[in-house]
Amino acid sequence: MADSEEALWRRVFELAEKGRYSTSPNPRVGAVLVSPEGEIVGEGFHERAGDPHAEVHCLEQAGEKARGATLYINIEPCAHFGRTPPCVDALIEAGIGRVVASLEDPDPRTSGKGFRKLEEAGIEVDTGSHANEARRLNEEFIVSVRHQRPHVLLKWGASLDGKIATRFGHSHWITSEEARGDSMKLREQCDAILVGAGTILADDPQLTRRLGRNTSIIPHRKIVVDARLRVDPAALVFSPDVPGEAWLVTSKPEEDPDLVPFRERGVNVLSLPDGPTRVDLKALLSYLHRLEVRSLLVEGGGTTAWNFLDAGLVDRVVAYIAPILIGGETAPGPIRGDGVPELKLARRLMGLEVSTIGPDVRISGRIA
C-alpha cells in the first residue's frame, strides 16, 4: 500500500477515535474524502447518536468537489433510517465515485445493503482494508449487534501475587494513582457499570464517572446485582445525590416489601428469575440490550466476576497488576467461585496488549 494511502487510513482511525466516549449506541466512525486528483476535500467523524454521520460532514466540507471522489471509511455507510437519514443516499446524490470501507455493518438493517445500493448506483466499492483495526475499534458495537447483549469488559486491580485486598480487607490502594486514572477511562467509555453485593458491602462505592468525557445519549447506569438483597438502601451507589441512574437487580419478587425502600430512593428495581448463578445474567444482559446498553463494565467482586466468566459472558479483560506482594491464604483474589476443574478448561486471553502505567502493568485481552 502506498504511504499516502496508509496515511489516509491513519487519519480515518484518528477521526473515529474522537467518538470513543460519545457515539453509543452507534459505532465509532471516521471518514476521509479524496478527490480524483488526490486532494483531501472532506473529513468527518460521528460524534453523537442523532448528530450527522461522518459521511455527511465529509460531503458538507467537499461541496462540488465530492463528485468522483473516493471515500475512505472504517464501516459500511448506513442504508436505513434511524435517528438520521441513510448516508448511502447522500453519497449517491453527491456523485461519489468510489467507497473504500474496512467492514460490513453487522446491523441487519444495513448489513450489505449499503454496499449493494452504492454498486447499483455505479459506485465502486472495495472492502476489507484495515479490518482488524476496525473490529477492535468497534468491538462493543459488533458484539452487541451480533449477540443481542452488551459487550462485557471485566476489570480488576491486583497485587503481583493475585490479591485484591489483605486478609483483613484492606485494599486502598493496591494500584497506583496512574492506574486508577486509566481505569476511570473505562468507566467513561462503557454505558453501564456493574458490581455484586459483596463489593457494595465491602467498599460502599459510588460507581460514578469522574472525567467528564462521556457525552453519549445513553444514561450512565450503575447496576448492583444482589440476589438475596443483602445491601442497604442507604448505600452511596443508591443515593439520589450521586450522579448516574441506579439499578438493583435481584431474585426477590417485585412485590417483596423489602424492595420498597429502594424504590423510595429512586432506584430502578429489576426482579429476575434465578439462573445458574442465582440471578439469570443472560436475562439481565438481554434486558440491558433493550435499553441500548452496548457496553458493560464489570468491576467485581470475585464471585460476580466468576459468574460472568462461567456463563461465557465476558468478552474482554483488563487487569492492573501492582508490583507488590500481599500474601495470605485468606486474602481474596479477583476471581472466586468454583473455578475450573482442569487447566484445559481455563479461560484463555487472546490478542494480549501489555503496557506500563506508572509503576503498574496493564494487561488487556479478549476471551478466546
- pTM for the predicted model, two decimal places: 0.93
pLDDT tens digit string along 289-316?
999 999 999 998 899 999 999 999 999 9
Alpha helix locations (H) across the chain? 3-17, 54-62, 87-94, 113-120, 131-137, 139-147, 177-189, 197-203, 260-264, 281-290, 302-310
**Residues 6+ away with beta carbon under 8 Å from 202:** 165, 169, 171, 301
Active-site residue set: 55
- Identify the DSSP state of 113: H
Alpha helix locations (H) across 161-311? 177-189, 197-203, 260-264, 281-290, 302-310
Handedness of CA 17, 22, 24, 30 (dihedral sign): negative
Instruction: State how far the Cα of 203 lies from the Cα of 223, in Å rounded to an integer.
Output: 15
Q: Which of 85, 49, 92, 50 is nearest to 71 (CA)?
A: 92
Give, for all 368 residues of the chain, the pLDDT tens digit.
Answer: 445 889 999 999 999 999 999 999 999 999 999 999 999 999 999 999 889 999 999 999 999 999 999 999 999 999 877 777 889 999 999 999 999 999 999 998 888 999 999 999 999 999 999 999 999 999 999 999 999 999 999 999 999 999 999 999 888 899 999 999 999 999 999 999 999 999 999 999 999 999 999 999 999 999 999 999 999 999 999 999 999 999 999 999 999 999 999 999 999 999 998 766 689 999 999 999 999 999 999 998 899 999 999 999 999 999 999 999 999 999 999 999 899 999 999 999 999 999 999 999 999 999 98
| 3-class secondary structure, 354 | strand
| 3-class secondary structure, 2 | coil
Contact 88, 59 (CB under 8 A): no
E strand spans, 171-244: 192-196, 221-225
pLDDT tens digit string along 228-251?
999 999 999 999 999 999 999 999
Residue 63: how many CB atoms within 10 A of its CB?
11
Place of cell 486509566: 182
Place of cell 496493564: 362
Q: Which of 204, 164, 191 is nearest to 24 (CA)?
A: 191
Q: CB pairs under 8 A, 24+ apart, for 78-84? A: 78/53, 78/105, 78/107, 78/109, 78/110, 78/114, 79/109, 79/110, 79/113, 79/114, 79/117, 80/107, 80/109, 80/110, 80/113, 82/109, 83/49, 83/50, 84/50, 84/51, 84/52, 84/53, 84/56
For the chain, helix, strand, coil in percent to 5 are 30, 20, 45
